[in-house]
Copies of this chain bind each other. A is one copy, B any other.
Amino acid sequence: MNVQEAMDKLKQNGYKYTDKRKDMLQLFSDESRYLAAKDVLEHMQDTYEGMSFDTIYRNLSLFTELHILEATELEGEKRFRFSCSTDHHHHHVICLDCGKTKHIHHCPMNDTPGAPGFQVTGHKFEIYGYCEQCSMKKDSAVR
């Protein structure tokens, strides 16, 4: 997924091409990590002074619907990242500080026996912690 593909997808589904949408997508493309709505807002307001919550949230959920972004819920906030690649199911190791991720290629669903009668609609496997940079930052902050 890249910005152009994402914009094309919007077009295909009858949505409009706006600079704000492009900039939002560019942000997610540049930062390949999970961002909270407020991170997006802050970044966008550098360029578009009066940009409203509404626009941010509406577009974030639109992008998620179209599978341009993937979302997870972390520490009471929804967070979003550019959809990695649509062709390969995977999970994430997530840095709780900066939101950076590593891939986990192995999916535990393969090893988990189905529960009879239970209709499965989704699953979540995530590993949390601190990436090398952020854990060094934390260490030095303590001293």
Contact = CB atoms under 8 A, between A and B. Distances in A.
Interface of A: 73, 76, 78, 93, 95-96, 102, 104, 106, 108-109, 111-112, 115, 117-132, 135
Contacts of A104: 112
B127 A120 contact: yes
Nearest to A102: B115
Across the A-B interface, the 10 shortest Cβ-Cβ residue pairs? A108-B108, A117-B132, A120-B129, A119-B135, A121-B129, A122-B128, A123-B127, A125-B125, A119-B130, A119-B129
Given A73-B73, A76-B73, A115 B93 contact: yes
Contact of A128 (B78, B108, B121, B132): B121
A118 B111 contact: no
A40 to B, nearest CB: 18
A121 B108 contact: no
Nearest to A126: B124
Given A111-B111, A117-B135, 8 more contacts: A76-B78, A104-B112, A108-B108, A118-B129, A120-B128, A121-B129, A123-B125, A125-B125
Nearest to A75: B73
